[in-house]
Amino acid sequence: MQISPEILPRIIQAIAEAIEKNAEAVTQLDQAIGDGDHVVNLQRGIHALQAQSAEIGQLDWAVVMQKIGMTLMSTVGGASGSLYGTLFVTIGKALRDKTADLPAFAAAFAQGVESVKLRGKADAGEKTMLDVLIPAAQSLQNSADASISLQELLADVTHAAETGVEATRKMLATKGRASFLGERSLGHIDAGAKTAQLMIAAIAAVIASSGAPT
């Protein structure tokens, strides 16, 4: 199963709409244990991608992933820009000279998540976006190795992301501003994890409705 980069403008638009729809709620999460500017920073990068969406849809996956990564690095403030930039640049490098089928993309995404772990000096269980990205990557790889339909794969990845973001509620923050709050960070969902989950859900919804082979 292969999906063309021509789907990217729809994906970028869906992500923009998901973040905008949930902007107030996520900002409240971020104000509780973070700096309160996560959504604004993220939207700056999304808007930059929207401006490039027509061009992006004409590139191959390796090139477009690196272009997305560099755009996010240069436009998104705070740690998110560096981390998401690293994610997409690594995915692009991993896809170079490869057929972008499901197993290749699953492996590339897993490599991207590993690079985020290294860049952020973080891992699962520390109340960050990785608590969504890691289980999503694991689900994608597991599904790529199994004989299941695309719809089942998308549902599994979406569920993994949802479970991951909810798990951050019971975690003690050890990274960023939230780490200074100690036990007061308990009981709050991490804003970065929430936006990661929203984006994964938006991507899955667009692919599911695209008419790609199931």
CATH of the domain at 26: 1.25.40.340
Q: Looking at residue 36, what is its pLDDT? A: 82
The residue whose two tokens read 């930059």 is 48
Question: Does any domain span residue 197?
Answer: yes
Q: How far apart are CA 197 and CA 111, in angstroms?
A: 19
Q: How far apart are CA 45 and CA 199, in angstroms?
A: 13
Question: Does any domain span residue 45?
Answer: yes
Question: Does any domain span residue 214?
Answer: no
Residue 6: pLDDT above 60? yes
Residue 210: pLDDT above 50? yes
Q: How many domains does the chain have?
A: 1
Q: Which residue segment(s) compose the domain that 36 sits in?
A: 5-208
Question: Does any domain span residue 213?
Answer: no
Residue range 12-67, pLDDT digits in tens = 999 999 999 999 999 998 888 677 889 999 999 999 999 999 899 899 999 999 99
Q: Looking at residue 145, what is its pLDDT? A: 84
Beta carbons of 76 and 102 less than 8 angstroms apart: no
Question: Does any domain span residue 188?
Answer: yes
Residue range 166-205, pLDDT digits in tens = 999 888 777 665 554 556 557 788 999 999 999 999 999 9
Q: Looking at residue 31, what is its pLDDT? A: 86
Q: Positive or negative CA dihedral for 185, 84, 27, 163? A: negative
